[in-house]
């Protein structure tokens, strides 16, 4: 690692091209921003989709990347929670602002202070980088889309008649965080995942987990809920394809009343929305706009305590070698599909 104070960025020069590492100026934080010297950066499905399909791009070149962790280099005039030298994770708002200074795929990233969390000493940077986008998405899903109350205490106890929630694809990044935050919110969690992740998914807080490939997955979840004495009227489909949505719908249909289904990708056109089910496409990006208040509660107040106490644990991080040069490999591998892990590079 060079000691020279430079900012290197993995830039996307044009739609569909490969990332190119270039030098660019180190940005200065605005009043409510934190400048992070990144030590680890994770790749997210939105990054490869933006590269491949030009999502949320008005003009090139752009810089991708949302999940960072590292050391605070400088803070804006209105920031009192963080200081130079703090070890933090941050969720970059680049998909909303389009400002390359906000992008994650570089040495220095500007992040809104509301989406920054101080790290316990026990959490290393590569693990920390797995968390920001997943936790932000889980928070929007549970506390904005579904409107569940935020856990008031780090160790909130379950309400007397717990609400059941289904998390389809519990071993995905989004599923991993959603299960943990749902458990902390006092919900009874039911999940699906490949069998090799069942022990993990239970340890995160799922009461029951089934193999999503099993022909009895839907029936098994319904009977598990019955045994637990809860109704599943809420579901999060972390994958949201024509394969997954019908199965999630089938689970919800086993229960009376109005059901809510939050999906992380667009609802498949060919599938009609059944009566009695309210579907919502989760806009994780609200964490940087309308719901900065929610971001601050979760990232500044709750998550530090959860991490300190081990009540929220990071996903398994797999390091792709090469630092910024490794990000393209990370995007390519993520596009092919990963199972129960987050791909990160270290700087």
Ligand X SMILES: NC(=O)c1ccc[n+]([C@@H]2O[C@H](COP(=O)([O-])OP(=O)(O)OC[C@H]3O[C@@H](n4cnc5c(N)ncnc54)[C@H](OP(=O)(O)O)[C@@H]3O)[C@@H](O)[C@H]2O)c1
Give the DSSP per-residue string, 18-56.
PPEEEEEPPP---TTEEEEEEEEEE--HHHHHHHHH-TT
Supply the minimum distance, in Å, between the C-beta of residue 24 and ligand X: 27
Contacts of 229 (CB under 8 A, 6+ apart): none
State the nearest-atom distance from the C-beta of 104 to ligand X, in Å: 14
Segment lying near ligand X (by CB under 6 A), choices 70-78, 83-91, 215-223, 338-346 = 338-346
204 binds ligand X (CB under 6 A): no
Q: How many residues bind ligand X (CB under 6 A)?
A: 27
Smallest separation, CB 339 to ligand X (Å): 3
**What is the token pair recorded at 38?**
């990144």
Q: What is the DSSP letter of 106?
A: B
Candidate residues 340, 344, 345, 346; the one interacting with ligand X per rule CB under 6 A = 340
Token pair 């717990």 in the structure block, residue: 162
User: What separation in angstroms does the CA of 195 have from each of 168, 192, 211?
Assistant: 13, 9, 6
Per-residue binding letters, 126-155, with ligand X (x by CB under 6 A): -------x---x------------------
Q: Smallest distance from the beta carbon of 143 to ligand X, in angstroms?
A: 14
| Coil, strand or helix at 188 | strand
Cβ atoms of 7 and 25 closer than 8 Å = yes
Please report whether residue 280 would count as binding ligand X according to CB under 6 A.
Answer: no
List the one residue from 75, 91, 142, 174 that touches ligand X (CB under 6 A). Answer: 174
Residue 252 φ then ψ, to 5°: -60, -35
Cα–Cα distance, 90 to 131 (Å, whole number): 9
Which of 91, 171, 181, 206 is the binder for ligand X (CB under 6 A)? Answer: 171
Rounded least distance, CB 334 to ligand X, Å: 6
Residue 338 is a binding residue for ligand X (CB under 6 A): yes
Binding mask 12-51 for ligand X (x = CB under 6 A): --------------------------------xxx-----
Q: Which of 212, 208, 269 is nearest to 237 (CA)?
A: 212
Please tell me the distance from the alpha carbon of residue 143 to that of residue 205, in angstroms, as a whole number.
18
Region of 18-26, 148-156, 238-246, 288-296 interacting with ligand X (CB under 6 A): 238-246
Nearer to ligand X, 259 or 263 (CB): 263
Residue 192 makes CB contacts below 8 A (sequence gap 6+) with: 166, 167, 168, 169, 170, 209, 210, 211, 212, 217, 221, 247
**Does the protein bind ligand X through residue 239 (CB under 6 A)?**
yes
Binds ligand X (CB under 6 A): choice among 102, 126, 197, 233: 197
Shorter beta-carbon distance to ligand X: residue 194 or 253: 194
Q: Which of residues 247-266 bind ligand X (CB under 6 A)?
A: 264-265
Cβ-closest residue to ligand X? 284
In the three-class reduction of DSSP (H, G, I as helix; E, B as strand; rest coil), residue 86 is classed as: coil
Contact window for ligand X (CB under 6 A) among 74-82, 221-229, 279-287, 318-326: 279-287
- Give the C-alpha separation, 246 to 268, whole Å: 10
What is the rounded CA–CA span in Å between residue 162 and residue 184? 12
Does 173 engage in binding with ligand X (CB under 6 A)? yes
Q: Name the site residues for ligand X (rule: CB under 6 A).
A: 44-46, 133, 137, 169, 171-174, 192-194, 197, 212, 238-239, 243-244, 264-265, 282-284, 338-340
């Amino acid at each position: 690692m060079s000691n020279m104070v430079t900012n290197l960025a993995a830039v996307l020069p044009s739609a569909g091209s490969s990332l190119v590492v270039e030098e660019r100026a180190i940005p200065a934080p605005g009043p409510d921003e934190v400048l992070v010297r990144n030590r680890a950066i994770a790749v997210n499905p939105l990054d490869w989709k933006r590269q491949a399909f030009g999502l949320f791009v008005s003009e090139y070149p752009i810089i991708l990347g949302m999940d960072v962790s590292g050391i605070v280099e400088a803070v804006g005039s209105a920031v009192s929670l963080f200081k130079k030298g703090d070890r933090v994770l941050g969720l970059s708002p680049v998909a909303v602002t389009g400002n390359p200074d906000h992008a994650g795929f570089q040495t220095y990233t500007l992040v809104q202070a509301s989406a920054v969390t101080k790290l316990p000493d026990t959490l290393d940077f590569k693990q920390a980088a797995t968390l920001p986008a997943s936790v932000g998405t889980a928070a929007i899903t549970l506390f904005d889309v579904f409107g569940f109350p935020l856990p008031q205490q780090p160790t909130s106890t379950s309400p007397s008649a717990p609400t059941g929630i289904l998390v389809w694809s519990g071993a995905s990044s989004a599923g991993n965080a959603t299960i943990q935050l749902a458990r902390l919110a006092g919900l009874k969690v039911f999940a699906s995942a490949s069998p090799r992740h069942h022990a993990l998914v239970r340890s995160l807080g799922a009461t029951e987990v089934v193999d999503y490939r099993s022909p009895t997955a839907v029936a098994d979840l319904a009977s598990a809920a019955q045994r637990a004495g809860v109704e599943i009227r809420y579901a999060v489909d972390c994958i949201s394809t024509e394969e997954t949505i019908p199965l999630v719908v089938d689970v919800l249909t086993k229960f009376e009343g109005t059901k809510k289904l939050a999906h992380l990708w667009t609802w498949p056109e060919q599938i009609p929305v059944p009566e009695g089910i309210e579907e919502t496409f989760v806009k994780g990006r609200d964490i940087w706009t309308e719901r900065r208040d929610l971001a601050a509660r979760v990232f500044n107040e709750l998550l530090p305590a959860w991490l300190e106490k081990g009540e929220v644990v990071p996903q398994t991080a797999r390091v792709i070698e090469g630092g910024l040069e490794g990000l393209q490999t990370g995007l390519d591998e993520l596009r092919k599909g990963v199972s129960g892990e987050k791909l990160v590079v270290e700087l």
